[in-house]
Chains A and B, each alone.
Chain A
Amino acid sequence: MAASMMSNFDGSLDALSMESSRKKRRKTGVVEEDHNRSSETGVRWRSETEQRIYSTKLAEALRQVRRRSSTSSAAVAKVAGGGRDVKEAADRVLATAAKGTTRWSRAILTARLRISKTIHKKRKARVTGDNRLKKTEVRRERIMLPVVQKKVRVLSRLVPGCRKTSLPNLLEETTDYIAALKMQVRAMAALAELLSGSPVNRPGSSVNS
C-alpha cells in the first residue's frame, strides 16, 4: 500500500492540476446530460482524488485563516470565532470544488461576496438554466400533499440556495449536497486526526512563529 501511495505521490502534483482541468471538461458534459448526472454526482464526491483535492485546498485555506487569526490581538476571539472561520473556509472550499455545477455551491459562493440581496437574485436568475420553470414551480407545489410539502420546504431551507427550486431540481441538489457534505466531513475528520495525531513536541519547533 505504501508503494502505491508513493507512486501516486510522484504524479500526484501534476495529476492534481491535470485532474482539475480534466474534471472541468468532464463537468460540462455532465451538466448537459441531466439523466446521467445523478449517477455521476455520487461517484464524483466519493472519489479519492476529489477528497485529496479538497483536503489540499482546505489545508491551504486553513493556513491562511490561521495566519489571519494569529495577527489579531484577542486570544479569546481566536478560539471562539475561530470555529466559524474554519467552517466558512471549509464551506467555501467545498463549494469551489463543485465548480459551479450545482445551485447550492453557487449560493454559498455568492453569499460570501456580501453583495446586496437584489443583486443576489439577479445573479441567481442569470446563472441558472431553468428560469422557464419558475412560473410552474409554485403551481406544482400546491398540488402535493401538505405534509410532504412542508417537509420539502424544510429541506429546501437546509440546502443553500434552493428555496424556490422545483422539486426534481431540489432533490438533485440534495443528492449532490449530501454527498459533498459527507466528503467534507471525511476530509475534515482526517485532517483533524492528522493534526492531533502529530504531537506538538517536536524538538526546536516554535509554536507561534
Chain B
Amino acid sequence: MSSRRSSSSSSRASKPSDDEIKELVLKLQPLLPQLHHSRNAPVSASSILEETCSYIKRLHREVEDLSKRLSQLLDSAGITDVDEELIRTLLRH
C-alpha cells in the first residue's frame, strides 16, 4: 500500500489515497437499504459498491415496472381523469 501511495504522490492534484477512497465509499452505506448487515460488522468497500450497484439496478427496474403500469393506466383512463389526478397530486403533498 505504501509503495502505491508513493506513486500516487505524482498525481498531486488528486489528493485521495486508498483509505480516503474507502472513506468516501463508506459514505454511501447509509443510503442503501441495510437489511442483512449488522451495523457493527465491518463492511468492506467492495461490498458497499456491490450493494450500491444492485440497488441502482433494482431502482431502475422499479421505475420500468411503474412506467409500464402507468402507461396501462393512462391508456385506460380518460384525459379528464389525468387532470383530476393532477389536482389530487397537488392536494396530497
Contact = CB atoms under 8 A, between A and B. Distances in A.
B35 interface: no
Interface string B36-62: 000000000110011011011101101
Contacts of B52: 155, 174, 178
A38 B27 contact: yes
Given A63-B82, A82-B72, A132-B13, A90 B28 contact: no
Interface in B18-35: 18, 21, 24-25, 27-28, 31
A205 B77 CA distance: 10
Contacts of B63: 87, 90-91, 181, 184-185, 188
B64 A66 contact: no
A179 B59 CA distance: 10
Contacts, number: 196
Contacts of B76: 200, 207
A82 B75 contact: yes
Contacts of B82: 59, 62-63, 66, 195
Given A86-B70, A192-B66, A200-B77, A9 B8 contact: no
A63 B55 contact: no
Contact of A82 (B11, B62, B74): B74
A84 interface: yes
Interface residues of A, number: 77
Contacts of B46: 145, 147-148, 151
Interface residues of B, number: 56
A198 B74 contact: no
A118 interface: no
B49 A152 contact: yes
A139 B15 CA distance: 12
Contacts of A38: 27
Nearest to B69: A192
Interface string A53-75: 00110011011011101000000
16 contacts: A9-B90, A52-B90, A62-B70, A69-B71, A82-B71, A87-B63, A133-B14, A139-B14, A151-B46, A151-B50, A158-B60, A171-B25, A184-B59, A185-B66, A195-B85, A198-B81
Given A190-B89, A195-B82, 5 more contacts: A42-B31, A83-B67, A189-B66, A198-B85, A200-B78
